[in-house]
Structure 1
């Protein structure tokens, strides 16, 4: 381990933040702030049927409502981390929180009519931008307040309790949706107020750094991510043979490559890519990428599966997801202890292995159409993610170059949220295609002509991925009558299509396990003397 890593300490602001701030209040304030971002990753999935029915959204439109948030969060996370370093962590955290909560209120005030879908997507995007400002600044505050030898446990608590708030999302969403789905956005208001009050009480100082902001780099990374995810998201509508699909995907990847080349030449880049020369940091980042292909998308797909194939209500679907979060919350604390005692590698290896096993067993049980038969495997999958998430994130942040924690947090969270956007887009496309094929086969087996069966199957695939009540379409005629008679078989078709998704998540965790093996196993440690020297530098 090089000297600058071992002596990284709490960063440039440590000479100010380690004395005056109240660590407990600072941690609580940042936790309440970021909990809103976690809650909004899950709460919308539960309310999706009600939103679609009231606003008459399309299935792809609803997926964009979910993905607009994730994509803006990913595209601007590095910018948020850099702004936090330049203008001060506390200031950017406060600005991000205010933007997030104002956008939440506007999402809940969406008017009915033709402009509803655009309104909701726009303000979900600004919500994601607020989160991109808030999250890296909040995490940087926690990193700066706690010394390196206690940081693993503090961040395990940070991510573990954030995960618990994520579990509250589906439960709260199911309950609020019974009143009005608009309340799922308004609930962020009291949470934001608590975060702002605790921030003021914690007396967290604001320490800016006089550096230049890399605007061209921010534009390139946002454009590259946006184009690539657009192509993946729209592949179900445009088709994989479409020139537009591949133009977006390849074009986005080329822009990201251009971004990397530009960052290596600019004097004060948005992201200092030399941090990837650290083999451990690279391993942490790749593990996070493959793990997040499963972690956020599982909320949406498990919720839709429960409401379609299991005919569950929104509240029952939320309870179904709760099994996953119980495993996640318990294991995240264990992962933090392993990190503090033995380093990140053992926690990542065990977590990725358990996660891969859990998702594979869960996928195998989806066609049993029983919540009670699936809960042990959902909990096992959640435990695997919980074990690896905090250790991989904390180990990566501890390896910051020059202790630029806001910047490195921006890198790791950009990777995580870009991965979540890719997972949503790819798995959503796969689900629609496989559902269409299986439902088409089912209808043909019941005597529906091939052309009519394929057209109807496509309509049903769009409907069930957007309307998780799983109700048969109304209407008259032989095709409509056959569809109503076949709804039991169609629910099984949808369960079988979801098996592809969950096996895909298991494969992603399996690849993450192979990447965790490449971690050198070195640990970031620091003495008070080393931290003091780093702070002086």
Structure 2
């Protein structure tokens, strides 16, 4: 199952390193690169609950195989994107299909892992699973930096050998097939996809439409309204896509709120830290990948430690420690960004990584343990949907914030060097789009007085971009500070056996029996 999910974790980070090369070769239009990154996350979030339900209905082994084939097929198509006017649409569509494939395979793989370990051993097992998965996430930037030196298309083709190994091992493994013959909630699947898509669309396009635009708030509020309709519908349908009753357990609800805020920082970090390293620090793709390894060093160590805390003392101490460390780590890291020294930042990057490491495995595992009266597929579908939706929101909000802040800082710099306010603003916007990967890379005209001033101001512009990134990293620190406050609402009770799991709500319809952990290995 680690091989099955390896591709999904690698693809969360590998594209960020290759972003400048993709933009230069394909000439993506305004906000194109951000959509390439976010199409994957949004599809993963929108269809994850569906993937969990399909794993229940057809068996996790079968769904994991289908998801792997969909994922690797779309990866090949992403690598084969043709140059020309259709390139952006091609890449965004197949990145979304990649996300759909990941939404099928990940909940199925996690359901297999959960089902073969009893509750008192599950914390350590899932800590190992998420810890190794985190290491695979760290492998993404390294692979991206190395493969981009050959061709950026190879970052998608690298999934092929991994998929071949995953399929062979899954076919050979003795995985019990447990199926639940129920109806699939198609209306629920459509509602959640539309609601998430609209809300993220509004947040992401706020940079182009403006925060005062009717379109921006129409999409955001319309998406949230659709999600509210989805929740109400799920409470009434006989076989819902998501069992909303599990949120009646306070610990389960707190676990998911903490995960939401943590993921607003975790996944977007890869994109913003990579672009900061290449623009402000002048790092190569390989050096940018090494820069991210400081974060993952802390993450990997804390993931294992957090699993032991979960098994011994429950989730509350781990997530309180993680959210506190993460908030402090991101704030200190943000403060050091303007030093423009990679070496000086590593302690704070590692501290931020440790904070996230203490959060993810304990809160995810505790959420699963709290909802044993629902199926594993349903519960993992809920937690991962929330995680990926938060990541998509974080990328959209921070991307808009970074572009606006960079525009303001660069415009101030150019005004100080003699350009008029209007000209400085236009040039600043073009530079912001170019360096953030959210624009069309045209920038100011290559010749003329404006271009000359911009070229002569590049050292100051690199500092401007670092200052703009400070706002993004402080935003990540704020997200973890909110998670820290929410962590105090966790009841702190510890689930050590299936008999201690929260009892089913008497007013809710009885849940089908949970599959028993298999003794076969």
TM bracket (short chain): over 0.9
The answer to whether the aligner puts 1:423 opposite 2:404 as a matched pair is: no
Equivalent-residue separation in structure 2 for 1:471 and 1:370 (angstroms): 29
Equivalent-residue separation in structure 1 for 2:81 and 2:215 (angstroms): 31
Aligned match of 2:197 in 226, 232, 236?
226
Q: Which residue of 2 aligns with 1:8?
A: none
Q: Which residue of 2 aligns with 1:344?
A: 315
Q: Which residue of 1 aligns with 2:18?
A: 47
CA 1:534–1:87 in structure 2 vs 1: closer, same or farther (change >3 Å)?
closer
Query: In the TM superposition, what is the alpha-carbon distance from 1:183 to its structure 2 partner?
Result: 0.4
Query: In the TM superposition, what is the alpha-carbon distance from 1:525 to its structure 2 partner?
Result: 1.6
Q: Which residue of 1 aligns with 2:508?
A: none
CA 1:536–1:459 in structure 2 vs 1: closer, same or farther (change >3 Å)?
closer
Equivalent-residue separation in structure 2 for 1:528 and 1:286 (angstroms): 25
Equivalent-residue separation in structure 1 for 2:130 and 2:436 (angstroms): 30
The answer to whether the aligner puts 1:369 opposite 2:340 as a matched pair is: yes
Contact 1:327 1:379 in 2 (8 A): yes
The answer to whether the aligner puts 1:270 opposite 2:253 as a matched pair is: no
More displaced 10-residue stretch of structure 1: 103-112 or 205-214: 205-214
Query: In the TM superposition, what is the alpha-carbon distance from 1:478 to its structure 2 partner?
Result: 1.7
Query: In the TM superposition, what is the alpha-carbon distance from 1:339 to its structure 2 partner?
Result: 0.6
Equivalent-residue separation in structure 1 for 2:177 and 2:199 (angstroms): 36
The answer to whether the aligner puts 1:382 opposite 2:353 as a matched pair is: yes
Q: Which residue of 1 aligns with 2:45?
A: 74
Equivalent-residue separation in structure 2 for 1:66 and 1:341 (angstroms): 38
Q: Which residue of 1 aligns with 2:215?
A: 244
What's the secondary structure of 2:152's corresponding residue?
A: coil
Q: Which residue of 2 aligns with 1:494?
A: 465
Aligned match of 1:284 in 246, 252, 255?
255
Deviations 1:323-358 (A, max 9, x none): 111111111000111111111110000011110111
CA 1:450–1:105 in structure 2 vs 1: closer, same or farther (change >3 Å)?
same
The answer to whether the aligner puts 1:184 opposite 2:168 as a matched pair is: no
Deviations 1:409-458 (A, max 9, x none): 00000000000000000000000001001101110011101111111110
Contact 2:34 2:438 in 1 (8 A): no
CA 1:534–1:101 in structure 2 vs 1: closer, same or farther (change >3 Å)?
closer
**Which consecutive aligned stretches of 4+ in structure 1 deviate over 3 angstroms post-superposition?**
470-474, 527-530, 533-537
Equivalent-residue separation in structure 1 for 2:499 and 2:315 (angstroms): 22
Contact 2:430 2:443 in 1 (8 A): no
Q: Which residue of 1 aligns with 2:134?
A: 163
Paired residues for 1:97-246 under 5 Å: 97-246=68-217
What's the secondary structure of 1:101's corresponding residue?
A: helix
The answer to whether the aligner puts 1:294 opposite 2:265 as a matched pair is: yes
Equivalent-residue separation in structure 2 for 1:441 and 1:534 (angstroms): 61
More displaced 10-residue stretch of structure 1: 471-480 or 48-57: 471-480
Contact 1:59 1:463 in 2 (8 A): no
Deviations 1:154-176 (A, max 9, x none): 10000000000000000000000
Query: In the TM superposition, what is the alpha-carbon distance from 1:33 to its structure 2 partner?
Result: 1.0
Deviations 1:248-290 (A, max 9, x none): 0000000000001111111111111110000000000000000
The answer to whether the aligner puts 1:461 opposite 2:404 as a matched pair is: no
The answer to whether the aligner puts 1:517 opposite 2:470 as a matched pair is: no
CA 1:436–1:466 in structure 2 vs 1: closer, same or farther (change >3 Å)?
same
Contact 2:434 2:443 in 1 (8 A): no
CA 1:149–1:536 in structure 2 vs 1: closer, same or farther (change >3 Å)?
closer
Equivalent-residue separation in structure 1 for 2:374 and 2:223 (angstroms): 31
Contact 1:42 1:169 in 2 (8 A): yes
Query: In the TM superposition, what is the alpha-carbon distance from 1:65 to its structure 2 partner?
Result: 0.2
Query: In the TM superposition, what is the alpha-carbon distance from 1:480 to its structure 2 partner?
Result: 1.1
Task: Say how many residue pairs are matched.
Answer: 505
Equivalent-residue separation in structure 2 for 1:467 and 1:534 (angstroms): 46
Aligned match of 1:407 in 367, 378, 402?
378
Query: In the TM superposition, what is the alpha-carbon distance from 1:473 to its structure 2 partner?
Result: 6.0
The answer to whether the aligner puts 1:483 opposite 2:461 as a matched pair is: no
Query: In the TM superposition, what is the alpha-carbon distance from 1:535 to its structure 2 partner?
Result: 5.4
What's the secondary structure of 1:316's corresponding residue?
A: helix
The answer to whether the aligner puts 1:356 opposite 2:327 as a matched pair is: yes
Deviations 1:148-201 (A, max 9, x none): 111100100000000000000000000000000000001011111111122122
Equivalent-residue separation in structure 1 for 2:208 and 2:379 (angstroms): 36
What's the secondary structure of 1:402's corresponding residue?
A: coil
The answer to whether the aligner puts 1:442 opposite 2:413 as a matched pair is: yes
More displaced 10-residue stretch of structure 1: 519-528 or 87-96: 519-528
Aligned Cα RMSD in Å?
Answer: 1.8
Equivalent-residue separation in structure 2 for 1:402 and 1:520 (angstroms): 19
Structure 2 length-normalised TM = 0.95
Contact 1:473 1:484 in 2 (8 A): no
Contact 1:52 1:467 in 2 (8 A): no
Equivalent-residue separation in structure 2 for 1:339 and 1:384 (angstroms): 15
CA 1:535–1:299 in structure 2 vs 1: closer, same or farther (change >3 Å)?
closer
Deviations 1:230-262 (A, max 9, x none): 000000001001110010000000000000111
Consecutive unaligned residues of structure 2, counting only runs of 5 or more, are 502-512
